[in-house]
C-alpha cells in the first residue's frame, strides 16, 4: 500500500469513527428529549454534545473532500497536512 492510499484509508477510518460518534450522540439526544423534555438540562447537554461532534465530523469531512479534489499543493492542505 503506498503512502497516499494509507493516508486516505486512515482519514476514511477517522471520518467513520467521527460519524459513528455523531450517530451515537444523536440517539442519546433523542432519548434525553423523550425522557426529560426538550427544554431540560439533560437534553441541552446532549444537544451540545451532538452539535460538537457533528461540527468535528463536518470539519474533517470538508478538509478530506477539499484536499482530495484540489490536491495537496493547495496552501490549506499543506497546513492541514492532508
**Number of residues in the chain:** 82
What total of structural domains would you count in the chain?
1
Neighbours of 29 (CB within 10 A): 20
Residue 70: inside a domain, yes or no?
Answer: yes
* 36 inside domain: yes
Flag whether 5 is in a domain: no
Mean pLDDT (whole number) for 2-19: 61
**Does residue 12 lie within any of the structural domains?**
no
Residue 7 lies in a domain: no
Q: Does 51 fall in a domain?
A: yes
CA atoms within 13 A on the CB side of 47: 11
Complete DSSP assignment for the chain:
--HHHHHHHHHHHHHHHHHHHHHHHHHHHHHHHHHH-TTSHHHHHHHHHHHHHHHHHHHHHHHHHHHHHH-TTSHHHHHHT-
Mean pLDDT of 1-7: 39
Q: In whole angstroms, give the CA distance from residue 46 to residue 36.
A: 11
- Structural domain includes residue 29: yes
pLDDT in tens, 33-79: 888 888 888 888 999 999 999 998 888 888 777 777 777 777 777 65
Amino acid at each position: 500500500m503506498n503512502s497516499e492510499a494509507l493516508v486516505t484509508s486512515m482519514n476514511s477510518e477517522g471520518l467513520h469513527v467521527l460519524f459513528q460518534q455523531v450517530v451515537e450522540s444523536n440517539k442519546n439526544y433523542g432519548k434525553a428529549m423523550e425522557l426529560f423534555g426538550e427544554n431540560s438540562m439533560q437534553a441541552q447537554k446532549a444537544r451540545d454534545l451532538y452539535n460538537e461532534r457533528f461540527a468535528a465530523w463536518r470539519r474533517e469531512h470538508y478538509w478530506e473532500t477539499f484536499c482530495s479534489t484540489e490536491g495537496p499543493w493547495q496552501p490549506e492542505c499543506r497546513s492541514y497536512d492532508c
